[in-house]
Structure 1
C-alpha cells in the first residue's frame, strides 16, 4: 500500500564512507536517501563485509567500469526491514523483512525477461547508485518490485546478509551454472566465503567434495562443513595441484566439476588441470590487480579434453525462492559461516585483515550506532 510521502532526506543516518582507493573509512552522519516512486527505503539490520568490497577498496575492477568514488558507501549483503515504499511499489510493504540482491536489475531487458536478472543489460551495483550501499543505517532499493525479495519465516536478517552475495553466488555456481548431480565429484579452489558456501551446498546436494586452499585452518573448516578430502596447495605449481586432486578421484580421472572461488592464474589453472575429460569449470572468482581481468588459459588442453568453462555471476532474482526455501527448511545454513559480528566502526580494520586473508567465514555488521 502506498504511504504518504515523507521527507526522509531531511533526516540523517550513520554510514561508513570510503575516502578513496585504500583510503580511510570514516563513520559519518549523512542524509537518509530519498526513495523514489519505484523504490523502497530499507532499514538495514545486518550487512556483510565481503571480499568484493575489499576488491573495490583496492581499486580493482576499474577495468570493467566499477570505479570507486570518494565518499562511497559500500555494502551489498543486506538483511533489513522495509521502512517506506514509493507509489509504484506493490510487491513489498512497510515492516516487511527483505533482502536485496547485489545485482540490481531493470526487469524489462531481454535477459530479465528470460529470468536472467543477474546479467541484466542495465544492471547496477549498490555502490554506483547513491544511497544504495548497505554500510549504513538505511539504504534505497531501486526498482523494489523486482529487487526487494521478501524473507520467509525461518530466515532472519542476519541469515539474509550471510546469503546476500557469497552464499547465493555459490548456490548458482554449484546448482545452476555448475549443474551438479548427486554423486559427482567437485573440487572447490579457495576456501574463503564463496568457497565455504560452495562446499556446504555441494555436499548437501550429494557431491563428493575436495577442498583446495593454502591455509590449513581453512581446510580444517572445509572438512567440518562437508569436504570429503582436502589439498593444501601451498608451494605447488597449478599443474601439480590439479594432478594431486586427480589422484584422489576415482580411477585418477579428475573431478566432474571444479569451482574457482578466488580468481587468480593459479586457481584457474589448478582447477582446469583437476578436471576429468568432459569436465566443467564454474568460474566465480573475479581477478585482482595482478591479472586485471586477463588470464591465459591452456586452450589445446581444453579442446583435447573437451573441457567447459562456465562463468557464474551472482544469482537471479527469479531463483531466490528455491534457495530461501532450503534455508528456511534448515537444509542449508548460511549463518553457520558467520564468524563474527561487528559495528560500522570496525569496517576498516576488517578490510585490513582481508589484506592477509586473516578473516574466516563471514563478517557481518549488526551494530549501526
Structure 2
C-alpha cells in the first residue's frame, strides 16, 4: 500500500509503498476514504511526543474514516463494506475507567497514529475493533467524518462534558485553530455567546462565520480586559485550545467569579507544560479548572446524531482537500502557522 512515512523527526514524510497491514483476530482492516491532518500529527512529526512514537519508520494520522475491508475471526459488530469512523483514543475495555465509560483515560490507552501506525496511508488496521470503531451514520459523508475525527470530538467533549456549557452563557475560546474553531461551533450550537481570541485576523473572521458573536485580536489589546468588557464581568467558561502559558493564564484572567476553565490545548514545552497558576485568584473567585482529552466512546453517539441532523456541521471547518503526496506542504503550513481551518487527505 502507499503511505506517508515518518523516518526521522522534523524531516519530510516519505511517500512510498509499504507492506499492507496484517489482520489480527480482534481487528479490522479499513480502506481509508479521508484522513484529516491535525496539529497533534505535527507535534508527533516535530518530536514533541517521543514517548508516543516508539520507533521508526512510523505512519502518523489519526482523524480518519473509511470502509471495512477485512474483519478478524473474533469480530462481531462489523462486516466488510461497513462505513466507519475511528475514535482517536483506544481503550482496552477492561480497566475501571473503561468500564465506567471513560475510554479516553484508559489505563492502557493507545492512540491511533502514535501507539500504532495510523491513517496517512491507503489502509489501516484497528485492534480491539468491536470496542474502538464506530459505524458512520448514512447521513454523514467521509469528509465530514474525518473533520470530526480528533479536534472536533475533542472540542465536543471539552464543551459539553467538561465545560458543561449552557444556553446564554459567555464562552471565550483562546486559539482559533482546528480545536478552537470546533469549540466555537459547538458552544454556539449549545446556545452560548462565544468570543474568539486569536492573533490572526483571517482565523477570527472564519470564527465569526462559525458563530462567534465577537472576536478579539490579542496582538492589539489585552484580551482578558476585552473579554470582561464584552461580558460585563467575565466569561462563564473559557477554553484554551492552544496550550501555551499566555493563553492558559489569559483564560483564567478572563473568567467571572465561579467561572470554569477547560484546558484542551497540549503544551509542546519539554518541561511537560509546567506553568505558574494564580492560586489566590482561583481561591477567591472559586474558579474551576478541568483538563479535557479526546472523547469517550459513549459521547460519540450524541455527537454523530447532532451532525446527522444538521445541528452541528464539522464539514464547514474543512478549507482544503489534498492528495497524500501533498502532505509535506500541509505540515509546512502548520510549522509557519499559515492558513486556517481543516485540511483533509481525500486522494490516496
TM-score, structure 2 as length reference: 0.97
2:53 and 2:115 in contact (8 A); partners too: no
Offset of residue 235 of structure 1: 5.5
Whether the aligned pair in 2 keeps the contact of 1:210 and 1:228 (CA below 8 Å) is yes
In structure 1, what is the Cα distance between the partners aligned to 2:81 and 2:252?
Answer: 47
1-side partners of 2:249 and 2:304: how far apart?
33
Determine whether 1:333 maps to 2:333: no
3-state DSSP class of the match of 2:113?
helix
Cα distance in 2 for partners of 1:178, 1:32 equals 41
1:50-70 CA-to-partner distances (Å, cap 9, x unmatched) read 0000111111133xx224632
Aligned pair partner of 1:179 in 148, 156, 164: 164
* Contact kept in structure 2, 1:79 and 1:159, CA below 8 Å: no
- Contact kept in structure 2, 1:61 and 1:292, CA below 8 Å: no
Aligned to 2:329: 349
Which blocks of at least 5 consecutive residues in structure 1 are unaligned? 1-12
- Structure 1: how far apart are the matches of 2:81 and 2:241? 35
Matched with 2:223 is: 241
Partner residue of 2:32 out of 39, 44, 55: 44
Equivalent of 2:23, from 31, 35, 51? 35
Aligned residues: 348
Match for 1:149 among 134, 147, 150?
Answer: 134
CA distance in 2: counterparts of 1:318 and 1:51, whole angstroms: 25
Measured in 2, the distance between the counterparts of 1:315 and 1:125 equals 12
Distance, in Å, in 1 between the alignment partners of 2:300 and 2:319 is 24
Aligned mates of 2:113, 2:166 — CA distance in 1: 36
Structure 2: distance between partners of 1:100 and 1:259: 25
Q: Deviations over 1:68-125 (max 9, x none)?
A: 6321100000110000111111111110000111101101110000100011111011
Q: Give the CA deviation at 1:128.
A: 3.7
Q: Quote the Cα distance in structure 1 between the aligned partners of 2:142 and 2:103.
A: 23
- Name 1:9's counterpart in structure 2: none
Shift of 1:49: 0.7
**Equivalent in 82, 89, 96 of residue 110 of structure 1:** 96
CA distance in 1, matches of 2:288, 2:115: 35
| Paired residues of 2:21 and 2:123 also in contact (CA < 8 A) | yes
Q: 1:327 to 1:108 in 2, by over 3 A?
A: same
Q: From 286, 296, 315, give the equivalent of 1:316.
A: 296
Give unmatched runs, 5+ long, in structure 2.
none
CA distance, structure 2, for counterparts of residue 291 and residue 232 of structure 1: 28
Choose from 311, 319, 342 the match for 1:362: 342
Report the alpha carbon displacement of residue 129 of structure 1 after superposing the two structures with TM: 3.9
CA distance in 1: counterparts of 2:322 and 2:56, whole angstroms: 23
Q: Contact 1:20/1:68 (CA < 8 Å) preserved in 2?
A: no
Quick one: distance in 2 between partners of 1:280 and 1:291? Answer: 25
Q: Which residue of 2 aligns with 1:99?
A: 85
Partner of 1:198: 183
Name the counterpart of 2:250.
270
Mapped pair 1:77 → 2:63: yes
Using the alignment, how far apart are the partners of 1:255 and 1:243 within structure 2? Answer: 11
Deviation at 1:307, TM superposition (A): 0.6
SS at match of 1:366: strand
| Superposition TM-score, scaled by structure 1 size | 0.92
Distance 1:340 1:229 in 2: 25
Q: Could you list the runs of 4 or more consecutive aligned residues of structure 1 that deviate by over 4 angstroms after TM superposition?
A: none
For residues 128 and 202 of structure 1, the distance between their equivalents in structure 2, rounded to whole angstroms, comes to: 29
Task: Tell me the distance in 1 between the aligned counterparts of 2:92 and 2:13.
Answer: 31
SS in 2 for 1:276: strand
Deviation of 1:159 (Å): 1.1
Q: Please name the residue that 1:300 is paired with.
A: 280
Partners of 1:38 and 1:102 in 2: how far apart? 18
The C-alpha deviation readout for 1:214-235, integer Å capped at 9, x for no partner, is 0011111111110001111016
Work out whether residues 56 and 68 of structure 1, in 8 Å CA contact, stay in contact via their aligned partners in 2.
no
- Greater shift in the superposed pair: 267-276 or 69-78: 69-78
Instruction: Give the drift of 1:300.
Output: 1.4
